[in-house]
Amino acid sequence: MAVADHDGATVDGADAGSGARIADLIASGPTLSVEFFPPKTDEGAEQLDRTVDELDPVGLSFVSVTYGAGGSTRDRTRDLVVRLNSERSYPAMAHLTCVGSTRSELSALLDDYDANGVHDILALAGDPPADGSPAGGDFTYALELVELVRARGPQFSVGVAAHPELHPRSTDRSSDRDHLAEKLRAADFGVTQFFFDPDDYTAMVGELAQRGCTTPVLPGVMPLSNPAGVERMAAMSGATFPAALAARVESAGDDERHRVVVDATVELCRALLDSGAPGIHLYCLNRSPVVLDVAEALDLR
Ligand code: FAD
């Protein structure tokens, strides 16, 4: 069924998803999860439905669904999360941003998620308008959204974003880590921006521990299937682009390319798991082939 056609019918909260909070799954990990984005077209929706079916044998721990900049995909995100949560055996987590929104708008959306059995929220600030105009709304930082979700009760599990290579708007390393530690202490877990050097992750975890923060942080891993696209995203997010790996992917023949991407992804995931990461969150861009091969190699089921 195309996401755009979803009728938004409510499902019994008690029957939705696996019934497990993502925070609890991570605590008994390691977990393997993927990020989806809500498709804009019927064709994209069919592609995502195929991917979801193809990933079934992997036994994913959970999935997450992004929220378009400034809430531009609010209804599509909501409908996809509710549908996945009701149809699949794993929970689906809704990304939610707060900058530019009012408290009453977000409270209404959280009430709707609660009524529909969606209790896993990735609480994000979101980005202020690119033209520098005032964002408006009632929020400045993600921590304020964490507090809004928390106030609704223990049925919610709350994740937050973490940036191993620092948030691009941060003024200095120490204050960025201080703010991250404070936010993680209020949340159940973190999920990172993508990065390609495992040392960036272990350094961040160490700096958090120095601040007394041991909240689990899932590394977000981006397979380098589309180097040009990842280079653009890296420029926006402040992540270092792996030029040497990109050159290897670009110069590989069609048959070899997939293997180069999978091997590099598996190598990074293994280093992260060996260093104590509580699981792996893969940025799959609504496609299954790399996830299938990485999951088989990691055998996290
Ligand atoms: P915050 O935690 O609020 O941090 C933002 C900046 O403010 C940081 O530099 C931080 O150091 C600083 N800061 C925090 N608290 C304070 C304080 N008290 N005083 C001064 N400075 C402070 N965006 C979307 O629009 N939709 C999505 O679905 C989405 N999904 C994401 C998923 C992940 C895993 C990640 C890592 C990012 C995602 N983003 C998404 C991007 C995110 O919205 C942006 O990075 C945004 O700019 C910051 O969000 P945050 O939640 O990290 O903000």
What would the mean pLDDT of 160-181 be, rounded to a whole number?
Answer: 96
Ligand 1 pocket residue status of 127, Cβ below 6 Å: yes
For residue 143, give the CATH number of its domain. Answer: 3.20.20.220
Q: Which structural domain range is residue 242 located in?
A: 13-298
Q: 62 Cβ partners below 8 Å, 6+ apart?
A: 22, 25, 31, 33, 90, 91, 92, 93, 120
Residue 281 resides in a domain = yes
Helix (H), strand (E) counts: the chain: 11, 8
The confidence score (pLDDT) of residue 18 equals 62
Atom of ligand 1 nearest to the CA of 126: 43
Query: Which residue type sits at 54?
Result: E
Can you give the pLDDT at residue 15?
Answer: 40
- Asked if residue 152 is part of any domain, the answer here is yes
256 as an active site residue: the answer is: no
For 202-222, what is each residue's pLDDT tens digit? 999 999 999 999 999 999 999
1 occurs within a structural domain: no
Indicate the pTM of the whole model: 0.94
142 touches ligand 1 (CB under 6 Å)? yes
* Contacts with 38 (C-beta within 8 Å, 6 or more apart), sequence order: 3, 65, 66, 68, 73, 76, 77, 79, 80
How many structural domains is the chain composed of?
A: 1
* CB of 64 shorter than 6 A to ligand 1: no
Euclidean distance between CA atoms 282 and 301, whole angstroms: 15
CA–centroid distance, residue 241 to ligand 1 (Å): 20
Tell me, in angstroms, the distance from the centre of ligand 1 to residue 293's CA.
31
Instruction: Please give the pLDDT value at position 130.
Output: 85
53-105 pLDDT, tens digit per residue, is 999 999 999 999 999 988 889 999 999 999 999 999 999 999 999 999 999 99
Q: What is the pLDDT of residue 17?
A: 58
Domain assignment of residue 171, yes or no: yes
